[in-house]
């Protein structure tokens, strides 16, 4: 495969992504920074197409030709998996390849906050992991699923686009379904999963109202639902879910959500001060009586005060997490400020 040499370079240097674009040299993302591969020639349209098309199956090429962009996964057995997105742009074809390790790190190996270890023990409800693209949401969820798989006799169903981390059956039975390959949509697979006797359902992303509605129903009916949203902050995640529904349904959804929510994690990945890699910063909200009441009464603007006072329950604000990294000398104040919302002050 033409991508092999670049892939080996990416693995060697610990890159998170490979960028292939017609009219440009390939780039890697190293510790959050884009780095051009200087020794590589500029890719012509034909060369870029050869790099990208050889990573697709014939069926994927057909979809790409019709849709003009596509998400898919590539596996190099025993080496690595790649989550790929191919698209057309002004100069020709383009492709982004996210490197996904074949070995899933434990929650301890990822240095996730200790209070997140409560999540695999939840019997039901919904857990949201939020943050921007590239913030490690999928990695966090994979470690939670792995913890359940290693310690509980559960049936775990994952619905992803595409499948990222691969889970082999251990103590649990894990069925992984890929949108476009094994099912037509998140909503269809989620609806079917309710008839498949799952204990845990992982939804790669809640993208639409139907998926959100089904996720809340699954959480209400005795399943643990793990999923992601692209939002910044626990309160904004709650608002995002509620606002996805028509006004005449929102009171009902607030009640559903207030009862089924278990936790919201907002995370970011920051470059370490010593340049050796990335470190996570986390805002953590656990549902309690006060939080549920705020959701029901549409007072999510009060959530930050609960985060501030809920330390004994394992809660923390993003501000507190960032300040802790600054005080520990792990990240610079300048780097931390990039992840501060306007209402935060260092």
Residues 117-156: pLDDT tens digits?
Answer: 999 999 999 999 999 988 999 999 999 999 999 999 999 9
Percent of the chain surpassing pLDDT 70: 99
pLDDT digits (tens, 9 = 90+) for 189-218: 999 999 999 999 999 999 899 999 999 999
**Burial of 77 by CB count in 10 Å (0-12 exposed, 13-18 middle, 19+ buried)?**
exposed
**Is 58 domain-assigned?**
yes
Do 241 and 167 belong to one domain? yes
CATH code: domain of residue 301: 3.40.50.300
pLDDT for residue 259: 97
Do 211 and 233 belong to one domain? yes
Q: Which residues pair with 29 in a beta bridge?
A: 17, 34
Do 11 and 139 belong to one domain? no
Do 282 and 325 belong to one domain? yes
Which of 93, 99, 52, 51 minimizes the C-alpha distance to 75?
A: 99
pLDDT digits (tens, 9 = 90+) for 337-346: 998 876 665 4
**Is 53 domain-assigned?**
yes
**Is 236 domain-assigned?**
yes
Domain boundary among 43, 67, 101: 101
pLDDT for residue 200: 98
Query: Is pLDDT of 228 > 90?
Result: yes
How distant, in Å, are the alpha carbons of 93, 99, 238, 258, 291 from that of 317?
A: 41, 30, 15, 20, 14
pLDDT for residue 41: 95
Domain boundary among 101, 127, 157: 101
Average pLDDT over residues 297-325: 96
**Burial of 52 by CB count in 10 Å (0-12 exposed, 13-18 middle, 19+ buried)?**
buried
pLDDT for residue 102: 86
pLDDT for residue 346: 45
Do 250 and 148 belong to one domain? yes
Do 94 and 10 belong to one domain? yes
At 2, is the pLDDT very low, low, confident or very high (cuts 50, 70, 90)? confident
Mean pLDDT of the chain: 94
pLDDT for residue 345: 54
Average pLDDT over residues 316-324: 96
Do 30 and 125 belong to one domain? no
Q: Show the domain range for 286.
A: 114-337
pLDDT for residue 186: 93
Do 246 and 290 belong to one domain? yes
Percent of the chain surpassing pLDDT 90: 89
**Is 300 domain-assigned?**
yes
Do 258 and 186 belong to one domain? yes
**Is 345 domain-assigned?**
no
CATH code: domain of residue 16: 3.30.450.90
**Is 291 domain-assigned?**
yes
Domain boundary among 101, 131, 152: 101
Domain count, the chain: 2
Do 29 and 139 belong to one domain? no
**Is 122 domain-assigned?**
yes
Secondary structure, 3-state, 295-342: HHCCCHHHHHHHHHHCHHHCCECHHHHHHHHHHCCCCCHHHHHCCCCC
Give the Cα separation of 167 and 283 in Å (integer).
Answer: 27
Do 256 and 136 belong to one domain? yes
H/E stretch holding 286: strand 278-286
pLDDT digits (tens, 9 = 90+) for 56-99: 999 999 999 999 999 999 988 777 899 999 999 999 999 999 99
Average pLDDT over residues 276-289: 96
Do 97 and 235 belong to one domain? no
0.75 cut: is pTM over it? yes
Query: Is pLDDT of 183 > 50?
Result: yes
- 234 prior amide bond cis, ω within 30: no
**Is 342 domain-assigned?**
no
């Amino acid at each position: 495969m033409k991508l092999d040499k670049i892939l080996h370079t990416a693995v060697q240097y610990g890159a998170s992504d490979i960028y292939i674009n017609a009219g440009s040299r390939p780039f890697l993302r190293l510790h959050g920074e884009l780095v051009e591969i200087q020794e590589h020639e500029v890719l012509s349209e034909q060369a870029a197409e050869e790099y990208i098309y050889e990573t697709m199956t014939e069926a994927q090429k057909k979809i790409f030709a019709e849709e003009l962009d596509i998400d898919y996964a590539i596996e190099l057995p025993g080496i690595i998996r790649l989550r790929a997105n191919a698209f057309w742009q002004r100069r020709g074809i383009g492709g982004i390849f996210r490197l996904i390790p074949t070995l899933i790190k434990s929650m301890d190996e990822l240095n996730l906050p200790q209070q997140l270890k409560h999540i695999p023990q939840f019997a039901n409800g919904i857990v949201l992991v939020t943050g921007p693209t590239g913030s490690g949401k999928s990695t966090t969820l994979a470690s939670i699923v792995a913890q359940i798989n290693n310690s509980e006799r559960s049936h775990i169903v994952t619905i992803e686009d595409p499948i990222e981390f691969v889970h082999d059956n251990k103590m649990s039975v894990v069925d992984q379904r890929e949108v476009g390959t094994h099912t037509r949509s998140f909503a269809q697979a989620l609806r079917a999963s309710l008839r498949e006797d799952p204990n845990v359902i992982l939804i790669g992303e809640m993208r639409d109202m139907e998926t959100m509605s089904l996720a809340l129903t699954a959480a209400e009916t005795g399943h643990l639902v793990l999923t992601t949203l692209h939002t910044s902050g626990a309160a904004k995640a709650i608002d995002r879910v509620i606002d996805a529904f028509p006004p005449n349904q929102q009171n009902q959804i607030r009640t559903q959500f207030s009862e089924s929510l278990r936790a919201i994690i907002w995370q970011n990945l920051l470059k370490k001060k010593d340049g050796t890699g990335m470190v996570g910063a986390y805002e953590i909200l656990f549902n309690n009586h006060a939080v549920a009441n705020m959701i029901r009464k549409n007072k999510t603007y009060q959530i930050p005060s609960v985060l501030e006072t809920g330390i004994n329950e394992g809660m923390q604000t993003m501000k507190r997490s960032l300040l802790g990294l600054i005080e520990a000398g792990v990240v610079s104040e300048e780097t931390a400020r990039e992840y501060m919302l306007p209402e935060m002050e260092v």
